[in-house]
Structure 1
């Protein structure tokens, strides 16, 4: 009997730089996302990532199209408390690293294996440790 393949073989998370580059149609990030999808990985962002990545020059139509193809994870009380604990454990301050901590917490909650596309390798290493694979974008 053939083994049934799971619908999702892990998760690809985009931080704000990953989302910005996907919206900007950067070849490297588009290729990474396409490969993840080919492998059956779910592509995920934090709701806060939208706030951090969007600006006046953002192509709103392209952003809407990209967002329609990813799962957007909300941030509530439980997630905020967990992100705060990550900050404390990493010795970082919420004033500068609040969104990174929320993204890290959300990343740690995803189906494994987890890959995070980020421009913040150092900070995300402090927040996630070795529990996720970090890929620089």
Structure 2
């Protein structure tokens, strides 16, 4: 698989699938994260992404190691209200898209340019518009 080029500097945001694949040592995602770091991009996740990505079979030691190299962005009241506004403006319902909206809100607050590794290109496009470059994983 050919490597995708990422922008110089800025921020790389991982959604649940991006984090899960990084923890599982999925070669294309590991390569994208490594390339982002070489280019000076900060790698971040929403705090809620951890909750969404972890399951019974998650390698907890690998997860802890991966998280030690990623900035975890907290979600408080202000961020939750901003995520709610994104849901409303995108015409989406929080029951299905709540965590996605929090991840999108996290991405929109980061140093630009922002690239997001996501499995939900359609939903994230609705939430982020053209302000975040989406890369499917």
* 2:84 matches 1:84: yes
1:28-47 aligned within 5 A? 28-47=28-47
Partner in structure 1 of residue 122 of structure 2: 122
TM-score (norm 2): 0.94
Structure 2 spans left out of the alignment, 5+ residues: 1-7
TM-score (norm 1): 0.94
CA-CA distance at 1:9 after TM superposition? 1.6
Aligned pair count? 130
Partner in structure 1 of residue 16 of structure 2: 16
C-alpha distance in 1 between matches for 2:91 and 2:40: 35
CA-CA distance at 1:70 after TM superposition? 0.2
Structure 1 spans left out of the alignment, 5+ residues: 1-7
C-alpha distance in 2 between matches for 1:66 and 1:109: 22
C-alpha distance in 1 between matches for 2:132 and 2:93: 22
1:102-117 aligned within 5 A? 102-117=102-117
Larger Rg: 1
Please provide the CA RMSD for this pair.
0.8
